[in-house]
Structure 1
Amino acid sequence: MEHPGKEKGEEKPKYRKDKKQYLKALWVDSASDSSKTKPEEEITNLCLMADHLDSSDQEDVCKPTYDQLVKICERVHVSYKKHKKTYASLKLKFFNLKKEHESLNKDYTLFDSNHMSLLDEFDELNKKNSELIVEHDSLKASYTTLEFDFKAYTKEYEHKKHC
């Protein structure tokens, strides 16, 4: 990227680089002399360095040319169109999936209610089956008793008939 304030072929000023190296050296020197320096001097040195770093950050700001801005805008516009198409297709997919989800929820509700009614019916049939088993066992016991009594009566009758 070009800087609009620079002419073609003009070199970047070296004084910024030299200042940074000087400040780094000053920082190293001040770190080695830390036992000798007073806290007020350290604060002053730090403030000066921070001030210099802020001003150098402002100098390094890139100012693009008009043509570069147009190219950037064109790329953004192409990207926008692409994302707009993607958004439209995703929106359509979302709408279709939402419809399908609602349909599946209705089906699930219907199946769930049918399932519950079948479970209720199953419970009723199990209860009735248990009652019928008890009744069957009772009738079987009665039949066995009646059969035993009938055989005993028949034997007694046969015995009285022969006597």
Structure 2
Amino acid sequence: MEMPSDDRLKGRASRAGQIYHITTTTKGRAPLFRNFAMARLVIAEMRRLQEQNLLHSIAWVLMPEHLHWLLQLNGPVAISTAVKVLKGRSSRQLGHFLPGSQPIWQKGFHDHALRREEDIRKVARYIVANPLRAGLVEQIGDYPFWDAHWL
């Protein structure tokens, strides 16, 4: 996939091999992913992107209304393209659960390209600990929607 021009227009540059922390939310912060089946559909689409060798998931957590995802880009795919594909595919799948054609995801996303000196494991631990900080569980093992490369 070629890097779309919208990355450059927004000041967003994508590089193969770069590690990014992505955060994206549901439209209106609706807690759609309290529904187990809906959460599993999003996770399946994240894994599909990795299986297609577009990216490598390092760590992620799918919260009831948002996603934190630490990933590394493979090849020429742009970060905006990877997120757009995830949102598009998951929206089509999730549309079967929701009446009408309401949007699933908020427009846009926040990304942070990790600098070489940043501790990837520290960022991954921060991401995975989100359910603890939100008070959803007392132990991360009790939260079903997360993964980390090291496990």
Normalising TM by the smaller chain, what interval? under 0.3
Higher normalized strand content (fraction of residues): 2
The TM-score normalised by the length of structure 1 is 0.18
Higher normalized helix content (fraction of residues): 1
The TM-score normalised by the length of structure 2 is 0.19
Higher Cα Rg, which structure? 1
